[in-house]
Amino acid sequence: MITRTRLAAGACALLAALAAGMAFPAGASAGEPTGEDAPKVDLVLDVSGSMRTRDIDGGTRMAAAKQAFNEVLDATPEEVRLGIRTLGADYPGDDRKTGCKDTAQLYPVGPLDRTEAKTAVATLSPTGWTPIGPALLKAADDLDGGDGSKRIVLISDGEDTCAPLDPCEVAREIAAKGIGLTIDTLGLVPNTKMRQQLSCIAEATGGTYTSVEHTDELTDKVNQLVDRAADPVVTPVATEGADACAKAPTLKSGLYTDREEFGQQRWYRVDVEPGQELRASVSVGADRAVNPSYGVLLRAVTVHGREIVRGEAAGNGRTDVLSTGLRYPKAKSDEDDAPAEAVCLQVTNSFSVASGVKTSPGLPLELTVDVVDGPGDSDDVAAFGLGRGWWLLGLLVLVGFVAGLLWGWLSRWRFAIWRTN
């Protein structure tokens, strides 16, 4: 019995080792330093009087924000330098001039002491005005210095009350400085005016706007944005897709931005040499209120219209960005001067809006194109979907064969013991 147990354990160990070898290619190492400046995030929280309203999961908006902040602070990556700024937290009076200066740094941008930051958040109580514009200007100063990514995450439950300092103009001014700062906005139980203003702020800097009505949604989105700050900074290139493959712009490896109308098709072309692999992904953002149930389709087709491979994704209204991707390895050729293949990328969306919501300009679209050396001689896209070509298929067959032999041997052993007894 002990021998059988050890043999079974050995078989499991063999299969686990083979699976680990497939999952983690040689040379891959997580968490290696990149040599870049640390990413910075400033969480800007509205603490105005309206945050007392009890309409989020049976509690106040302030309670939902505190709970979300505590969970976000626990999950913040070590490499992120995080700070917290408030607006409307200190002045309870009616003097507009004073109220519109009410923004303060609750926790400085830097290495995170989670206990200290949580203690600071616990002291907050809904108080005053909503000076979004002044708070954004100060938050940009909080993030000054360094070449790492910089991100402001603004959480508010109302529009700015300190015009004529228009927060949209403030966001455009920040974007014009060319400091690579992105502003993402989250609206708690939004109305139309607030949604328009927060969308405008986000769009000015290439950020995203999200409507939030539940605590878990707030937590998930802020966590996502903080994690995104740790991604490598890549400057996107504006492009304009065509309505047909024949008219499409030819793209090199890189990150591109475009606008796509509701239900529209956008076409792009990529040249792929024999032996190379095309990797493409697309994200379409819902920067305004959209109907639930929507999808994004990315297709790679030949210039003659034959589909090569596709990627697709569907959403149900719980996220403001929908992404999908595909891979296409171009087989090597026996001819040294074989020409490149023109691959057409088609992006289609099925977003729709209710009556009264503007459909122009189109939805923000982000397209990533990467053309690299291919995995081998295989021209079978379906096989490539299993891994990097036929070698993985052969390895899977070998693993199955070995597992079958071991299982058969164990069965015979058990049957022999049973007959002896």
Mean pLDDT, to the nearest integer, of 233-254? Answer: 88
pTM of the full structure? 0.54
> Are the C-beta atoms of residues 138 and 165 closer than 8 Å to each other?
no
Residue 24: what pLDDT? 35
Of 404 and 117, which is predicted with more confidence?
A: 117
d(CA 245, CA 51): 50
- Domain range 242-373, its CATH number among 3.30.450.20, 2.60.120.380, 2.80.10.50, 1.10.3720.10: 2.60.120.380
> What average pLDDT does the structure give for the chain?
82
Mean pLDDT, to the nearest integer, of 293-312? Answer: 93
Q: In whole angstroms, how far apart are CA 184 and each of 87, 187, 264, 397?
A: 16, 10, 26, 48
> Are the C-beta atoms of residues 283 and 366 closer than 8 Å to each other?
yes
Residue 12: what pLDDT? 42
> Are the C-beta atoms of residues 40 and 230 closer than 8 Å to each other?
no
Residue 392: what pLDDT? 57
Report residue 47 as tokens. 């603490």
Closest to 156 (Cα-Cα) out of 87, 56, 94: 87
pLDDT cut 90: percent of the chain above it: 47
Using the structure block, give the residue that is written with the tokens 């040249």: 271
CA 275: distance to chain centroid?
30
CA 118: distance to chain centroid?
26
Cis peptide leading into 164, omega within 30 of 0? yes
118 contact partners, CB below 8 Å, separation of at least 6: 69, 70, 73
Of 179 and 381, which is predicted with more confidence?
A: 179
Mean pLDDT, to the nearest integer, of 311-330? Answer: 83
d(CA 111, CA 333): 53
> Are the C-beta atoms of residues 325 and 311 closer than 8 Å to each other?
yes
pLDDT tens digits, 165-185: 889 889 988 887 767 789 999
**DSSP type of residue 245:** G
Sketch the domain layout of the chain as residue ranges. Answer: 40-229, 242-373
Q: pLDDT tier at 360 (50, 70, 90 boundaries)?
A: confident
Q: Is 50 exceeded by the pLDDT of residue 18? A: no
CA 259: distance to chain centroid?
18
Q: pLDDT tier at 337 (50, 70, 90 boundaries)?
A: confident
Residue 209: what pLDDT? 87
d(CA 315, CA 80): 29
Report residue 391 as tokens. 């070698």
Closest to 129 (Cα-Cα) out of 101, 106, 152, 153: 101
Q: Please give the CATH architecture assigned to the domain spanning 40-229.
A: 3-Layer(aba) Sandwich (3.40)
Name which of 83-87, 96-100, 192-196 the model is least confident about. 192-196
Mean pLDDT, to the nearest integer, of 228-243? Answer: 79
Residue 417: what pLDDT? 67
Q: How many CA atoms lie within 13 Å of 45's alpha carbon, on the beta-carbon side?
A: 30
Residue 37: what pLDDT? 82
Closest to 186 (Cα-Cα) out of 126, 149, 137, 226: 226
Q: pLDDT tier at 281 (50, 70, 90 boundaries)?
A: very high
Residue 396: what pLDDT? 67
Burial class (CB in 10 A: 0-12, 13-18, 19+), 78: exposed
pLDDT tens digits, 108-157: 999 999 999 999 999 999 999 999 999 999 999 999 988 888 999 999 99
Residue 372: what pLDDT? 85
Of 233 and 416, which is predicted with more confidence?
A: 416
Of 280 and 375, which is predicted with more confidence?
A: 280
356 contact partners, CB below 8 Å, separation of at least 6: none
CA 132: distance to chain centroid?
25
**DSSP type of residue 315:** E
Residue 25: what pLDDT? 38
Burial class (CB in 10 A: 0-12, 13-18, 19+), 331: middle
